[in-house]
């Protein structure tokens, strides 16, 4: 697997762009979780105007339902869509660990190959590391989900 911090070759970058645009144009898990036990957190990125509302419901110690609503740039909306797919069915501990790996990737840290494989399509956002001002866009939904799990969030 190519070094995700370097952006890889042109074909890989094009694939990543396609994944991001697909999730932006056809977001997965858009909406609001309702009912007993549902929790929601709203956050904004004042730098660029992105707004997100993440709602979740736990069942038997796992994220049973995870959805988002909001408006913003393609990176923030695609990241929210990818996040809901990646975290649904995970325990809070697993979700927090994946969030930490995702944020490390966006900060340009080298991620072990086994962890890169586990991140799946989230790797499409690895190129954001080259644009530090966009990191807040990509992490907005992640900070919101951490708050829904009661884990707080750094760098809001």
CA 115 – CA 48 distance, rounded (Å): 30
Contact 46, 34 (CB under 8 A): no
Q: What is the CATH number of domain 10-148?
A: 3.90.1010.10
pLDDT by residue for the chain (156 residues), tens only, comes to 344 444 457 887 888 999 999 999 999 999 999 989 999 999 999 888 999 999 999 999 999 999 999 999 999 999 999 999 999 999 999 999 999 999 999 999 988 888 888 899 999 999 999 999 999 999 999 999 999 998 765 544
Helix (H, G, I), strand (E, B) or coil at 123: helix
- Alpha helices by DSSP H, listed for 42-90, are 74-87
Contact 92, 149 (CB under 8 A): yes
């Amino acid at each position: 697997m190519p070094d995700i911090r370097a952006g890889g070759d042109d074909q890989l970058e094009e694939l990543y762009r396609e994944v991001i645009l697909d999730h932006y144009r056809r977001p997965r898990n858009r909406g609001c979780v309702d009912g007993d036990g549902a929790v929601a957190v709203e956050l904004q990125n004042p730098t660029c105007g992105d707004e997100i509302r993440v709602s979740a419901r736990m069942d038997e110690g796992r994220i049973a339902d995870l959805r988002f609503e909001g408006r913003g740039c393609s990176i923030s909306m695609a990241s929210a869509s990818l996040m809901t797919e990646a975290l649904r069915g995970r325990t809070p501990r697993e979700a927090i660990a994946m969030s930490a790996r995702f944020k490390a990737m966006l900060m340009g840290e080298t991620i072990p190959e086994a962890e890169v494989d586990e991140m799946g399509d989230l790797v499409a956002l690895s190129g954001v590391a080259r644009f530090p001002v966009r990191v807040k866009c990509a992490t907005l939904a992640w900070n919101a989900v951490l708050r829904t799990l009661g884990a707080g969030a750094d760098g809001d």
